[in-house]
Amino acid sequence: MGKRKGKCAKKNAATKEALEPEHLVKAPHSFVIHRGKCSKDLMDLTKDFRKIMEPFTASQLKERKKNTIKDFLSVSGYLHVSHMIVFTESELGSYMRLARLPRGPTLTFRIHNYSLARDVISSLRKQYVMAKAFKNAPLIVLNSFSGEGNHMKLMATMFQNMFPTINITTVKLKHIRRCVLMNYNPATKLIDMRHYVIRAVPVGLNKGTKKMIQGKIPNLNRCKDMSEFFDKAALMSESEFEDDPNAQVTLPQTLASRGAALNSKSAIRLVELGPRITLQLIKVEDGLMDGEVLFHELVEKTEEEKALIKKRREEKRRLKEKRKAQQDANVKRKEHEKEELKQKALEGIIKKKEITENQRLMELAAAETQEDGAMEAEDDDADYYRKEVGAEPEEDLFSQKQPRKRKSDDEPARGFKKMRLDKKLKKKYQKNDDTTQKQGKRRFDKNDDGKRNFKNKDGSKRFNKKEDMGRQRQGKQKVFGGKINKFGKGPSREKKMGKSKGKGRK
């Protein structure tokens, strides 16, 4: 676990500013995105334009279909984003919108044609790609943007403010490795955009010396001696050219490339990186992607139409402000009602607690008075018994048993308790007696002398148990399981049963 910062370190403004240098915070940052349904080439153009705007842009920005302009606008202040470039495509063509955050203005350009960076690099005979060149912002160069009209001044200002400014007194030449060229053609009203990497090549040297200075490995296959490689003047081929004197400069600082030393004469060469884009300004809006149209290339309106549009926009803005004020009032009213309801609920809870407390105290008082009355009644009964009988009463004679408490629904269920065997048998025989009474079958009864008789359905006496046993002994019959043996000696069972039946019937 890391160390915790103290209060002084948290409040110190110097530590907060030390997180990011001031020149990086003030530098213009940008979002380059595409909106709507776009072709794969236009999406690749969006990625190439991000390479132009590096390092002050979100190179790996992931935009989704559900994201809106408000989503990017909400995070732009935290990330110091000042510009947004949006690429869109329709049936008529492709468009690029350049907007100043957070309130505009917005410039809409129509893309007439473009070439991707990979196509530009593949068309070069000698490809030169340097990754270190993208660590610093490019130099912006504007040509022929001094035309008449406010839209020309606004367009030039927007292009200049897209890239960080350069302080001539403190700038380092090794940080200027790229440049972006914007060329305006007044006749066609088209803007050609090009992207180059800047190289400084030493001049006044032959080809062999230049190769050695630049650290290239020479090919000595056709040379007999090392001096021949330096002195031979015919090594330059016909395709090579001499540098233009106008492109030759004396370097005031030492550059990172070999041969570009201080106060040395070097030629400035540009190698195109791409992409190439041809643009035309179509519309200028006052707000962010919306608002009053300050300039339109294709549509012209009269003063009356402009005044009517302005009036409608003012009414729309007024209606929006009114609706917003009403929504704020409704939010405040609902919060106030919610607070009042909360207070009422708290008061009700407190009141309910007080009522329950009073009720509990009253129940306790009633229980105490009832117990005192019961004790007094017991004392009175015991005194009366002593006076009348003249002896002490038993302990449990006048004591009132506590009433058996009924089982409530809230009490948990008790565990299973085994029933004793005698209770089971009693319950079983009681059940059998009940069924026999219901069905009208024979049952046992007791006489006045305690003897059990067997009766019929109508209640007439059949015979008792002792007489039956006497008959069995006289006939010397054996009984197995309560049944008479038919194969024993003595009078037959049918004869006896016939007599008993006849006697019972009489």
Segment 93-106 shows an average pLDDT of 93
Segment 13-29 shows an average pLDDT of 73
Helices (H), 207-302: 207-213, 226-231
Q: What tens digit of pLDDT does each residue of 73-84 get?
A: 999 988 999 999
Name the band, by pLDDT with cuts 50, 70 and 90, for residue 390.
confident
pLDDT at 272 over 80: yes
Q: What tens digit of pLDDT does each residue of 170-191 get?
A: 888 888 889 999 999 999 999 9
Q: What integer pLDDT is reported at residue 362 of this predicted model?
A: 84
Query: Among 3-7, 365-369, 480-484, whose mean pLDDT is lowest?
Result: 480-484
Q: What integer pLDDT is reported at residue 502 of this predicted model?
A: 47
Segment 453-465 shows an average pLDDT of 53
Check if the beta carbon of residue 312 is closer than 8 Å to that of residue 292: no
Q: What integer pLDDT is reported at residue 495 of this predicted model?
A: 45
Segment 382-388 shows an average pLDDT of 76
Segment 289-295 shows an average pLDDT of 87
Check if the beta carbon of residue 240 is closer than 8 Å to that of residue 152: no
Q: Give the Cα separation of 258 and 209 in Å (integer).
A: 12
pLDDT at 192 over 50: yes
Check if the beta carbon of residue 97 is closer than 8 Å to that of residue 106: yes
CB-based contacts of 282, cutoff 8 Å, min separation 6: 95, 108, 109, 110, 296, 297, 298
pLDDT at 302 over 70: yes
Q: What integer pLDDT is reported at residue 15 of this predicted model?
A: 54
pLDDT at 457 over 90: no
Segment 353-357 shows an average pLDDT of 84
Query: Among 56-65, 210-219, 462-471, whose mean pLDDT is lowest?
Result: 462-471
Name the band, by pLDDT with cuts 50, 70 and 90, for residue 506.
very low
Q: What is the DSSP string of 324-336?
A: HHHHHHHHHHHHH
Segment 87-110 shows an average pLDDT of 94
Kind of pairing, strands 479-480 and 483-484?
antiparallel
Q: Give the Cα separation of 111 and 347 in Å (integer).
A: 69
Check if the beta carbon of residue 30 is closer than 8 Å to that of residue 57: yes
Q: What integer pLDDT is reported at residue 143 of this predicted model?
A: 93
pTM above 0.95, yes or no: no
Name the band, by pLDDT with cuts 50, 70 and 90, for residue 239.
very low
Q: What integer pLDDT is reported at residue 263 of this predicted model?
A: 73
**Share of residues in the chain with pLDDT > 90 (%):** 33
Segment 285-314 shows an average pLDDT of 88
Check if the beta carbon of residue 414 is closer than 8 Å to that of residue 427: no
Check if the beta carbon of residue 197 is closer than 8 Å to that of residue 259: no
Q: What integer pLDDT is reported at residue 404 of this predicted model?
A: 54
Which of 430, 468, 98 is CA-nearest to residue 289? 98
Query: Among 233-242, 290-299, 374-383, whose mean pLDDT is lowest?
Result: 233-242
Query: Among 262-271, 275-284, 301-310, whose mean pLDDT is lowest?
Result: 262-271
Q: What tens digit of pLDDT does each residue of 422-437 get?
A: 666 667 667 666 655 5
Segment 454-478 shows an average pLDDT of 53
Strand partners, 278: 113, 192
Q: What tens digit of pLDDT does each residue of 113-149 get?
A: 999 999 999 998 888 777 888 999 999 999 999 878 8
